[in-house]
Structure 1
């Protein structure tokens, strides 16, 4: 690894941290929808795997640091993973402490990063001797993963019932493309189908709006007023260990370690469970809310980082909710990355560690400083001048472009079909994770059934 590559990694980390600092503050930006398309696009244009990994780690750390801001100031989740913290953040806002809420969550996120990186490498080393055996049964593992995640969702029966039909849809489209000779028989369309699932709810909602009767019955909300309280200015570089109390620091560190160990489970489920379990004994509402949000933010960051690093280092297959979602491009972005040829195979453990540390440190230095110093000002700017719809439109356009690159014009409509079905299923309680697992398991599952 020469100095030119290290310089590129640093620049990419700065770019990732800056971009996802703004995106994280925008309300309702789903992690998979905003991270996966950009990562896959970088892979497909031939960016160095060192640079891609540094960019991704910086992006996820920055995203997790800043998605607490709209939660604290407006009660609106900055992403899916910040939704469990809304209730506790509103307790602090009610007591006139939104600035404290931002500082506690951001500090917890920093601790989650610091704990999860060494924990991830430790866990990966323990799993490494069994990597070949795990890879051998990858198809079966994905299928069992789909069943496991289906049993964890709101609508268990529908989630289980849809596994085979959704696999048929995916493989059916692939065989259609092969039969029409749109793509060679040795090419498997993957990227666009994956992205179709990520934008499913958006596409389904847009098609609903084409129904005139449905559109007329929607309530008009008008302009929403959001009050922002001026925060007290901080001097010097903020210290997360001084912002948090000793008990909050210990709770965040413990939650982060558990989040790293349980990288293969749902991060949202673990965040809700552990956040409530570790704080339910605290009587004072402000102390309880402060402890809960710092612990939850640490855990979510740890779950995201370990969910990326452990499968990437030890196995090379996306065997975690994080790896099959936002980080999927690091594992599978044909024709550049495939399950047999991705960052796991291209980079050594030391190189992965270097890229991870560079990305994480730069994101903390930039985003944590900016979050603590200028949270209110940035939030006001984003709420005023960056429409949520513009961000969603940007990523939807990127998906259309990648669908065309995958298999031409017909695949735009194929991807739209996947998105519509995924959006309908998601609306009815089927988790993203189930659909992603089916996408990976489909070739094996249909092979077994045939």
Structure 2
């Protein structure tokens, strides 16, 4: 690794931080949709694996730092992982504390990043001797993860019962495409189904509008007024440990460690579980909300980083929701990266550590500073000039495009089917995480029969 490569990593990290700071603030952006295509594109144009990894780490840290800002301002999550924090952020907004909410969530993300990186390398080092065994039993691991998360959901019975039928839906569509010759046999169709689950609730609601009776019963609202409180000016570089209270820092650190250890489980389920567990006993609504959002943001950031680094370092196969989704391009971007020849095989643990530290450090310096200093101003520009409907339309168009790229025109309708089923299940109490895990486990689970 020479000075030229290091300079390229620094420049890529700056670019990733700048780009995904803006993308994170835009409401409704999905991590997989905005990260996976760009990572794959960078691999295909021939950039060095050092540069690609530094860019990705910087991008994910910046994205997770800023996707909570729209929540604090208007109750609209900037990404899928920010959705569990909406309720708590709205409590702080109701009490006139949106600026506090932004600072708390951003500080939690910083703690999540600082803790998850060393913990991820330690866990990866410890599981290296059993990496081959873990890869062999990946399907079983995902299935057990789906069962575990199902037991944490609001509708436990439905969540458990739907795991196998949902896996049948996924594999049934794949076999349909293979049988019709739309794609070569055994070619995986994943990204479009993943996004289909993600947009499930929105898609189900939109299709409901086609029913005249349902449409008549829906409430009507006027223009939504969003009041933005002027944030207090911060002097110097903000210190996350001064923004958070001692207890908030401790629970954020514990959440970061928990998110790193459970890297193979979906971050959504663990975020909801841990956020509720550590705040259930707090009676004061402001204190409860502050503790919850800082801890949950730390856990999501940690789980995303560890979910990328641990499989990448120890195994070389995407054995986590993060690795299969947003980080998929680091493992499989043919013909440049393949399961047999990707960053895991090209870089040593020390080289992966160097690229990770450079990417994370630059993103923290740039994005955390911008988030604390200028979040309200940037949010005002985004909310004033970028309609939410336009973002939803852009995202829907991206889903359609990726569905077409996966398996031609028929897969657009297959993705709609997955989205409608997911939306119906979500409305009846099945967590996103259970459906994601069923998607990952589908080939192994159906192989048992």
TM-score above 0.5, yes or no: yes
Aligned twin of 1:255: 255
Following superposition, the deviation at residue 324 of structure 1 comes to 4.0
Q: Deviations over 1:3-59 (max 9, x none)?
A: 554444333333332232223223344444544454455556665543333233222
d(CA) in 2 for partners of 1:365, 1:198: 31
Aligned twin of 2:127: 127
Q: Kindly indicate whether residue 355 of structure 2 is the aligned counterpart of residue 355 of structure 1.
A: yes
Q: Which range is displaced more, 208-217 or 119-128?
A: 208-217
Give unpaired runs (5+ residues) of structure 1: none
Distance 1:64 1:211, change over 3 A: same
d(CA) in 2 for partners of 1:205, 1:347: 45
d(CA) in 2 for partners of 1:49, 1:278: 39
Following superposition, the deviation at residue 133 of structure 1 comes to 0.8
Aligned twin of 2:152: 152
Aligned twin of 2:175: 175
Aligned twin of 1:113: 113
d(CA) in 2 for partners of 1:297, 1:132: 32
Following superposition, the deviation at residue 432 of structure 1 comes to 3.0
Q: Which range is displaced more, 56-65 or 316-325?
A: 316-325
Q: Kindly indicate whether residue 231 of structure 2 is the aligned counterpart of residue 231 of structure 1.
A: yes
d(CA) in 2 for partners of 1:430, 1:272: 13
Question: Is contact 2:142-2:440 (8 Å) kept?
Answer: yes
d(CA) in 2 for partners of 1:205, 1:47: 41
Q: Kindly indicate whether residue 370 of structure 2 is the aligned counterpart of residue 370 of structure 1.
A: yes
Q: Deviations over 1:254-273 (max 9, x none)?
A: 33223322333443444445
Q: Deviations over 1:223-266 (max 9, x none)?
A: 11111111222233222233334444344333322332233344
d(CA) in 1 for partners of 2:439, 2:335: 17
d(CA) in 1 for partners of 2:32, 2:296: 19
Aligned twin of 2:241: 241
d(CA) in 2 for partners of 1:278, 1:89: 16
Aligned twin of 1:264: 264
Residue 151 of structure 2: SS of its match in structure 1?
helix
Aligned twin of 1:305: 305
d(CA) in 2 for partners of 1:178, 1:58: 38
Distance 1:118 1:93, change over 3 A: same
Q: Deviations over 1:113-172 (max 9, x none)?
A: 111111111111111111111111223323333333333333333333333333333333
Q: Kindly indicate whether residue 30 of structure 2 is the aligned counterpart of residue 27 of structure 1.
A: no
Following superposition, the deviation at residue 339 of structure 1 comes to 4.3
Question: Is contact 1:191-1:333 (8 Å) kept?
Answer: no
Distance 1:417 1:339, change over 3 A: farther
Distance 1:6 1:215, change over 3 A: farther
Q: Kindly indicate whether residue 141 of structure 2 is the aligned counterpart of residue 141 of structure 1.
A: yes
d(CA) in 1 for partners of 2:244, 2:59: 24
Distance 1:177 1:259, change over 3 A: closer
Distance 1:194 1:276, change over 3 A: closer
Question: Is contact 1:150-1:156 (8 Å) kept?
Answer: yes
Question: Is contact 2:111-2:256 (8 Å) kept?
Answer: yes
Give runs of aligned pairs for residues 10-409 of structure 1, distance below 5 A: 10-40=10-40, 42=42, 48-185=48-185, 187-275=187-275, 277-278=277-278, 286-287=286-287, 289-332=289-332, 337-409=337-409
Distance 1:45 1:180, change over 3 A: farther
Aligned twin of 2:415: 415
Residue 364 of structure 1: SS of its match in structure 2?
helix
d(CA) in 2 for partners of 1:325, 1:355: 21
Distance 1:197 1:239, change over 3 A: same
d(CA) in 2 for partners of 1:37, 1:159: 31
Distance 1:217 1:52, change over 3 A: farther
d(CA) in 2 for partners of 1:204, 1:362: 40
Residue 56 of structure 1: SS of its match in structure 2?
helix
d(CA) in 2 for partners of 1:295, 1:331: 29
d(CA) in 1 for partners of 2:434, 2:284: 39
